Amino acid sequence: MAAHAHGTSTTASIETNPTIGDYLIRRLLDYGMKDIFGIPGDFVLQFYGDLENSPIRVIGCTREDNAGYAADGYARIHGIGGICVTYCVGGLSVCNSVAGAFAEKSPVVVITGSPGVEERRSNPLLHHRVREFSTQREVFEKITIASTVLDDALTACREIDRVLEACVRFKRPVYIELPRDMIKVRCPYQHVPQAGTIKSDKAALKEALSEAGAMLAKAERPIILAGVEMHRFGLADELIHFAEKFEIPISATLLGKSVISEKHPLFIGIYEGAMCRESVRKYVEQSDCIVMLGTFMTDIDMGIFTAELDTSKTIYATSETLKISHHHFHDILVADFVKGLSKLDVKIAKRPLPPKAKPTPKFVAVPETAVTSARLFARINELLDEKMVVVADVGDCLFGAADLTIYRDTEFLSPAYYTSMGFAIPAALGVQVARKDLRPIVLVGDGAFQMTCLELSTVLRHNFNPIVIVLNNKGYTTERFIQDGPFNDILNWDYHRLPDLLGGGWGFEVRTEGELDQSLHAALSNKETFCLLNVHLDSLDVSPALKRLGERLSKHV
């Protein structure tokens, strides 16, 4: 479903000597960026004017960090996203969102204005400045894969090309700083973008595939463990082709959830150490050949280090590493390796699939019964269809969402590695800017909701229609699970009344299963605006996944 951007040039339409601002906009269009998020400020106002006059739609947000989350969500669906903010007060505000995009490999272009080159000569104390004029750039160098300051007309076009190509190649954020007196400066020469091609070392690729084939041929219990990079690099189809050709069962990590349809006959469930279903955990951990494709070995994906995987029995391939058992290979593109796997001429043992999870009985509301976390997720699971995207925030809503059945690729978004609270509401905005035909089901705890909920103002402004489900347990329940204390308590808002403040949207207060059922029916029928369900849960009620983790950890204490 994701559109994967490429640097194919359409720059024939660019005038011979474009301005730096015009060239940047044209190259963003070349890479497929149709929308950009942000908040204007005086150091970037002139470029905002250029954006408004371009084919790129500008989506103004309520906060810069929200614009970053929205661009991240947009990038995960569309293939590349962008933010445009002012100097320091805007740029430094977006750092956390960009750090999350870097950690989870989401290609976001950060464009920021800055004081003009001429303004800096006498080293004045201009507003927004922190320490040195270079401070903001130095901060972003740590959380982007490439960065540049367009302060030289001779090199500006080449720098734009270099940085944007790095964004798409590595699927990570990049930083472009545009001094305000350089926006209208014309490039002094005609520039044609050069499309560089990175290739695998043929001999290394051949040997790696040969060794992988030998391990698979010997295996009696193979399994594929698919991760998020299959999303990011557009390799889901190749992954499925490989699995189907050899009939190898597939599991996925939490960060990679929805890499394939969870209705696929070879899919066995999400693997996350002790947090996943016991049958899935045993099936993966008892494998004698685990083909880990695009998988990040994070503590969350590995069930808070409860995973028991024998690395000597793994084929581990990401964009950064290729390792077969204890042998390391270099200069091999993950796309070439994954495509090569399906061309192997080997016979691989057919492994019986584990028993399917027992079908959940159709949800029948017990009208006066208080809603529990398990029953809430059971009801949500029933309403999902192919036109919905689940956007889960951090906390127990994320762990509970692991058990939801996602129908096809890129229908599940979450910050499941960086785990920054507040991601879901603005990310849902990004999803619908990218694909208005997809309806987000937003799962967010009350603590995370309080951080970024006012981005529903932008959702309302653009007539989007997410269904937002606030798991209201009066505080930070996941942290209570680790160590309880008054620091985990927060003020209980009337979340369902937020539409009154914003002047639009529908709000529902939910305490019982009957109210839950009625509210969701009403929300599904209302396609014109957002709906917000304030679902009251007991402060110590946790999802089945978190309960499984607790039971497993208690056995090791």
Q: Which tens digit of pLDDT belongs to each residue from 252-299?
A: 988 888 888 888 999 998 888 767 788 888 999 999 999 999 998 765
110 and 62 housed in the same domain: yes
Q: What's the whole-number mean pLDDT along residues 440-454? A: 96
Edge-first strand order for the sheet with 388-392 is 412-413, 388-392, 439-445, 467-472, 531-536, 506-510
9-18, 60-69, 419-428: least confident range: 9-18
pLDDT for 15-51, tens place per residue?
A: 678 999 999 999 999 999 999 999 999 889 999 999 9
Last residue of a domain, one of 325, 342, 359: 342
List, as residue ranges, the binding site: 446, 473, 475
170 and 215 housed in the same domain: no
252 and 123 housed in the same domain: no
Assess whether pLDDT exceeds 80 at residue 455. Answer: yes
pLDDT of 4: 42
109 and 159 housed in the same domain: yes
pLDDT of 360: 72
Q: How confident is the model at residue 57 (pLDDT cuts 50, 70, 90)?
A: very high
Region of 139 please: left (phi>0), alpha (psi -120 to 50) or beta.
alpha
**What is the sign of the dihedral through the CA atoms of 377, 383, 384 and 390?**
negative
pLDDT of 358: 73
pLDDT of 301: 55
**297 vs 485 pLDDT, higher one:** 485
Assess whether pLDDT exceeds 50 at residue 162. Answer: yes
Assess whether pLDDT exceeds 60 at residue 165. Answer: yes
450 and 532 housed in the same domain: yes
174 and 211 housed in the same domain: no
Assess whether pLDDT exceeds 70 at residue 554. Answer: no
How large a percentage of the chain has pLDDT more than 90?
67
172 and 206 housed in the same domain: no
Please report, as a single letter, which amino acid is at residue 133: F
168 and 206 housed in the same domain: no
162 and 248 housed in the same domain: no
Query: In a 3-state reduction of DSSP, which class is residue 250?
Result: strand
Assess whether pLDDT exceeds 80 at residue 309. Answer: yes
409 and 329 housed in the same domain: no
CATH number at residue 404: 3.40.50.970
pLDDT for 111-141, tens place per residue?
A: 999 988 777 777 766 776 777 878 999 999 9
Q: Determine, yes or no, domain membership for 194.
A: no
Assess whether pLDDT exceeds 50 at residue 10. Answer: no
Q: Determine, yes or no, domain membership for 188.
A: no
Q: Determine, yes or no, domain membership for 213.
A: yes
Please report, as a single letter, which amino acid is at residue 366: V
CATH number at residue 206: 3.40.50.1220
Q: In this structure, what are the phi and psi dihedrals at residue 489, rounded to the nearest 5 degrees? A: -90, 145
Q: How confident is the model at residue 553 (pLDDT cuts 50, 70, 90)?
A: low
List, as residue ranges, the binding site for Mg(2+): 446, 473, 475
pLDDT of 363: 86
467 and 507 housed in the same domain: yes
Q: Determine, yes or no, domain membership for 380.
A: yes
6-20, 368-382, 399-413, 529-543: least confident range: 6-20
pLDDT of 551: 62
Number of domains forming the structure of the chain? 3
Q: Determine, yes or no, domain membership for 115.
A: yes
207-216, 272-281, 389-398: least confident range: 272-281
Exposure class string for 182-207: b at 16+ Cβ within 10 A, else e: bbebebeeebebeeeeeebeeeebee
Q: Determine, yes or no, domain membership for 475.
A: yes
Average pLDDT, the chain: 89
Q: Determine, yes or no, domain membership for 31.
A: yes
Query: What helix, strand, coil percent values describe the chain, rounded to 5?
Result: 40, 20, 45
Q: Determine, yes or no, domain membership for 10.
A: no
Domain extent at residue 206: 202-342
Q: What's the whole-number mean pLDDT along residues 387-407? A: 87
394 and 275 housed in the same domain: no
